[in-house]
Amino acid sequence: MKKLLSTIKSPMQLHEMNPAQLAQLADEIRETLCNLMSIRAAHFASNLGVVELCLALHSTFDFRRDRLIWDTGHQIYPHKLVTGRYDRFQTIRTRGGLMGYPNPAESEYDLFVTGHAGSSVSTMVGLRSGDDLMGRSDNHCIAVIGDGAFPSGIVFEALNNANSLKSKMLIILNDNEMSICPRVGGLASYLDRLRTNPLYTGLKHEIVNLLNKVPLLGDPTERMLAQIKEGVKAGLHGGMLFEEFGLKYFGPIDGHNIQLLKKYLKMVAETEGPVLLHVITRKGHGFEPAASDPVYFHTPPIFERRDGEVIIKKSTSKAYTHHARDAIFDQMKHNSRVTVITAAMCQGNALEPVRDAFPDRFFDVGICESHAVAFAAGQAKAGLRPIVDIYSTFLQRSYDQIFQEVSLQNLPVTFMMDRAGLTGPDGPTHHGTFDVGYMRIFPNMVVMAPGDANDIGAMLDFALNHTSPCAIRYPKENAVEIPRQLTPIQLGKSELIRDGKDGTILAYGTQLGEALAAAEILAQEELDIRVVNARFAKPIDNDMVRSAIEETDFVVTVEEGMLQGGFGSAVLEAANELGLDARRVRRLGIPDIYVEHGERGELLCDLKLDRDGIRQTCRELADLYCEQRAARQSH
């Protein structure tokens, strides 16, 4: 049988394919996805679930002029494969290769770099409005959004706006009963009722037609019959919630039947006004291990298929995420006032043991980060000690609630910011590089970062006994433990790890290990370097700043975050307040750029945040100030 996928240079070729060819193409796409997983970890189950939907869309519409936005974006792989990127597909999620999310720099078929859930409907409504104003009212604007993302508050804001525009637009609700973990909440229950309602057949329409024939007269009995009639009609009309927003509701339909999908897509394309098409898919469809366990196979480790079995390559190292989870578990075991709140990231934050052991104090609010923080504020006001365990990049979505509901009220909410720093192949949508800057500007906020695994439990214990909000950031990385005599966590106090007289490295966060390694290399070059575990970006340790600047020739600050507003900026601000000469302070961190995707080690090397980069910076400063000292002494 002739291979099809490798011949696809444009999605317009799909318009000429018959049903058998489209089915074959779906199989080839799934095989390509499985082959990718033998090379590197990637988003998997979600991509398997949208293969037929992707092919139906591209064989029905012309997205050179029509608009297509994939919400969240991690299910973009089939789309990339049929939009001219098959030849480069094996480079996905590698430095210089294809991004694992939509990327307009790669293709005209990608409109936005999307990586956070819920915004697709808003941007689609904006595109529709913009196209109308620009005289392009004859094209189609489509957003594909999952049932896990649909409860996000911004979606309902967008639906409200769409109703006022009255323009032609299509929302495809990809309902697979999942976000990353099983979805939660009232809307999830509503969708479950829609997908399981046996009256989504011709019987539904026959009953409604029959009810429409019931006459409406004036006596009490007939008025009662009228009320029953309207109640039954409302119960049968499952899309009633969506139609209250002004959407015409169609579905639910089988999202793995390409011909049925094409039939409905052509039908709704001719429908005026906003439309919601409810599509039922199965995450992991076509690869039974992923379909049976879509949570594990959301982004599984590298695996091989051998004699019909899946062989997983597992790491034996313990990540910072797991140390944080263990610290949370211990606190909840000993303090009944401690709760934990996550936003659809139970698996990502490894919180399953916490959820199972303390179900009454574990709250998964779905992909609703703003609500998560405001919810935590309410719990704190009631006397609890809530922990908001959330990725750094996703916490940005609750910025106003951090300000208004937590910081302004000075409530003791603890933020555990997982995936802080560079998240490697996930790229710029997921790098947690902004949290130091956006958290430390708030009054009352304490901002911490552990230097190694030993600091995490101690920092969490400190935070849960502190009277103000606290934030703790840690990376997506295997944890290290630095041998030393541990010192207690004290507000705004750093930890001296290695003394020295020639220069000082102030390490904020888990780059401490790299800083120590750089100092060891420099010792062999006869440079005596002091290394400090800063621990706090706010409040900054003024004594540490003063001694570093006054007692050593130069100071290098190291952080896995943005330089603007980051830890190094806090050091410079402190130096200014103390009246110190900060000209010999050099900051290492992330400059004013969005860091692309790649392996974390590669990215750290590029940014001079690994041991070699730190060593090189110290070496350059030592040589410079040695020359300046010699010049001063000669005069």
From CA 542, how far away is CA 268, in angstroms rounded? Answer: 64
Do 421 and 475 form a contact (C-beta atoms < 8 A)? yes
* pLDDT given at position 221: 52
Strand, coil or helix: 142: strand
* pLDDT, position 288: 85
Residues linked to residue 505 through DSSP beta bridges, in sequence order: 531, 556
Please identify every residue annotated as catalytic: 283, 369, 397
pLDDT at 198 over 70: no
Same domain, 15 and 158: yes
So what's the pLDDT on residue 275? 94
Worst-scoring range by mean pLDDT, 116-130, 132-146, 203-217, 469-483? 203-217
Residue 30: per-residue pLDDT? 95
Determine, yes or no, domain membership for 478: no
Q: Is the pLDDT of residue 579 over 60?
A: yes
Please compute the mean of the pLDDT values over residues 126-153 and round it to a whole number.
Answer: 93
- Residue 232 domain boundaries: 200-237
Query: Distance (Å, rounded) from C-alpha 151 to C-alpha 237?
Result: 20
Shared domain for 193 and 212, answered yes or no, is no
Give residue-wise pLDDT tens across range 43-97: 999 999 999 999 999 999 999 999 999 999 999 999 999 999 999 999 999 999 9
- Domain-embedded: residue 302: no
- Dihedral angle computed from the Cα positions of residues 457, 458, 463 and 467, in that order, rounded to the nearest 10 degrees: 150
Q: How confident is the model at residue 628 (pLDDT cuts 50, 70, 90)?
A: low
DSSP symbols for 456-494: HHHHHHHHHTSSS-EEEE--SSB-----S------TT--
**479 within a domain of the structure (yes/no):** no
Residue 245 lies in a domain: yes
Minimum mean pLDDT range among 265-274, 320-329, 532-541, 551-560: 265-274
Where residue 305 falls (left for φ over 0; alpha for ψ -120 to 50; beta otherwise) is beta
Supply φ then ψ for residue 8, to 5 degrees. -80, 110
Higher-scoring residue by pLDDT: 202, 393: 393
Judge whether residue 183 has pLDDT over 60: no
Residue 353: cis peptide before it, omega within 30 degrees of 0: no
Q: Residue 221 CB: number of other CB atoms within 10 A?
A: 8
Higher pLDDT, 522 or 246: 522
Residue 243 shares a structural domain with residue 224: no
Distance CA 493, CA 342 (A): 29
Cβ neighbour number for residue 30 with a 10 Å cutoff:
18
C-alpha 157: how far from its chain's center?
21
Is 130 within the bounds of a domain?
Answer: yes
Retrieve residue 266's tokens. Answer: 């052509």
Is the model's pLDDT at 375 over the cut of 70? yes
For 540, the token pair is 């900054």
Residues 570 and 503 in one domain: yes
Share of residues in the chain with pLDDT > 90 (%): 76
CA distance 256 to 260: 9
- Compute the radius of gyration of the chain from its Cα atoms: 28
pTM of the full structure: 0.86
150 and 266 in a single domain? The answer is yes
User: Going by C-beta distance under 8 Å and a sequence separation of 6 or more, which residues neighbour residue 591?
Assistant: 563, 607
Same domain, 388 and 465: yes
What pLDDT, on a 0 to 100 scale, did the predictor assign at position 317? 80
Q: Is 201 helix (H, G, I), strand (E, B) or coil?
A: coil
Q: pLDDT at position 216, please?
A: 47
Q: Which pLDDT belongs to residue 61?
A: 97
Contact at 8 Å (CB) between 331 and 460? Answer: yes
Q: Mark whether 264 and 355 lie in a shared domain.
A: no
Residues 224 and 246 in one domain: no
Q: Are 623 and 554 in contact (CB under 8 A)?
A: no
Residues 406 and 513 in one domain: no
Strands 303-306 and 274-280: unpaired
**pLDDT band with cut points at 50, 70 and 90 for residue 403:** very high
Mean pLDDT score, 526-552: 97
Fill in the DSSP letter of residue 318: P
Tell me the helices (H) and strands (E) count for the chain, helix number first: 24, 19
Could you tell me what percentage of the chain is helix, strand and coil, using 3-state DSSP and rounding each to the nearest 5? 45, 15, 40
Mean pLDDT of 279-305: 87
Question: 549 versus 216: which is more confidently predicted?
Answer: 549
111 and 189 fall within a common domain: yes
CATH code: domain of residue 330: 3.40.50.970
Per-residue pLDDT of 208-246, as tens digits, reads 454 455 454 445 554 544 444 444 444 445 567 778 888
Q: Return the HEC string of 10-64.
A: CHHHHHHCCHHHHHHHHHHHHHHHHHHCCCCCCCCHHHHCCHHHHHHHHHHCCCC
Q: E strands, 264-320, where?
A: 274-280, 303-306, 309-312
Biggest alpha carbon distance in the chain? 112
Q: Are residues 230 and 268 in the same domain?
A: no
Residue 276 domain flag: yes
- pLDDT of the residue at 208: 45
Average pLDDT, the chain: 89
Q: List strand residue ranges (DSSP E) for 524-594, in order.
A: 529-533, 536-538, 554-562, 585-590
pLDDT of residue 290: 87
Q: Is 213 inside any structural domain?
A: yes
* Per-position b or e across 264-274, b if 16+ CB within 10 A of its CB: bbeebeeeeeb
- Find the helix or strand (DSSP H, E) in which 611 lies: helix 611-634
Structural domain includes residue 465: yes
Residue 220: predicted pLDDT = 53
Q: Which two tokens stand for residue 332?
A: 């909840």
- Under 8 Å between Cβ of 225 and 141: no
pLDDT (tens digit per residue) in 293-323: 888 888 888 888 877 778 887 767 899 999 9
Statement to judge: residues 279 and 336 lie in one domain: no
Q: How far apart are CA 538 and CA 570, in angstroms?
A: 8
Structural domains counted in the chain: 4
Average confidence (pLDDT) over 351-356: 97
